[in-house]
């Protein structure tokens, strides 16, 4: 099975990403829906499935796209209008994003520890 066709356990993936990225509940529910169905869905479809307001869903989609968890495509509707559809980013890309986020956090912690050590040394000396 290729990574693109690998089906994540939707509830576990959504819960894990929610903890890592401190996602709002609506965002976690969107991840759950998209991982479960493996389809591309539009805003109205997502609103119906996660049972949240359109405003809440749009905000969560923005967060998820910005963090690299979702991909957004432009499509033409049956009425010949442009619309976005959303799908889960391939898992290997999500994993890479989590690694980068973790590495950035570790670097910030190391900088804080060095700064605190310099401050302590300056106060003792």
Q: Give CA–CA dist 119/48, Å, rounded.
A: 54
CATH fold for the domain made of 8-89: Arc Repressor Mutant, subunit A (1.10.10)
Burial class (CB in 10 A: 0-12, 13-18, 19+), 98: middle
Q: What is the pLDDT of residue 1?
A: 41
Measured CA to CA, the distance from residue 13 to residue 11 in angstroms comes to 6
Per-domain boundaries in the chain: 8-89, 90-125
- Cα distance between residue 93 and residue 3, in whole Å: 10
Digit-coded pLDDT (tens) for 43-55: 999 999 999 999 9
pLDDT tens track for 12-66: 888 889 888 889 999 999 999 999 887 899 999 999 999 999 999 999 999 999 9
Give mean pLDDT, residues 63-78. Answer: 93
Whether the pTM exceeds 0.85: the reply is: no
Structure tokens at 66: 């910005």
């Amino acid at each position: 099975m290729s990574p693109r066709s690998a089906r994540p356990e939707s509830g576990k993936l959504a819960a894990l990403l929610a903890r890592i990225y401190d996602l709002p509940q609506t965002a976690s529910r969107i991840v759950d829906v998209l991982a479960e169905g493996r389809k591309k869905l539009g805003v109205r479809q997502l609103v119906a499935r996660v049972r949240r307001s359109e405003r809440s869903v749009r905000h969560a989609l923005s967060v998820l796209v910005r963090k690299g968890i979702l991909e957004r495509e432009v499509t033409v509707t049956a009425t010949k209008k442009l619309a976005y559809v959303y799908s889960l980013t391939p898992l290997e890309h999500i994993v890479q994003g989590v690694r980068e986020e973790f590495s950035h956090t570790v670097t910030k912690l190391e900088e804080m520890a060095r700064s605190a050590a310099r401050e302590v040394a300056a106060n003792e000396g």
